[in-house]
Amino acid sequence: MSYGKMTTPIVLVRQTPQRDGEGFASVHDVVVADVMAYKEDRHGTEKWANRAVFSAATALFRFRKLPGVAVDTSMFIRCAAGRYQILSVEDVGQRGMYAEVLADTVTPSER
């Protein structure tokens, strides 16, 4: 993956519950990292057909791994196209350089 293909700015966020002074809980986004990523939307190619196990995935993101930042399925991705729930995270080539994330679009009623 070259830097030239990583043209989509994304924000990795984690939701954390916070209580106000009266004890009511609300969920807030905590920004974990801002990175540039390669984004590919789901389409009818053979590559996406082979990912049939993740039929809910609507987008694929690839980005450089950040030292000290563990990306997991409890996190979300925000970008200009919307908000995505992370479904799976894989190490590309088992080298520890890039992460490949399959994600599903979050609709406003699911938040």
pLDDT per position as a tens digit, 62-92: 999 988 899 999 999 999 989 999 998 988 8
Could you say which DSSP state residue 49 is in?
H
pLDDT one-digit tens code per residue, 18-69:
888 888 888 888 999 999 999 988 765 556 556 555 567 888 999 999 888 9
- Side-chain half-sphere CA neighbours of 95 within 13 A: 7
pTM of the model: 0.79
What are the structural domains, with CATH classification, of the chain? 3-110 (2.40.10.270)
Measure the CA–CA gap between 83 and 76, rounded to whole angstroms. Answer: 7
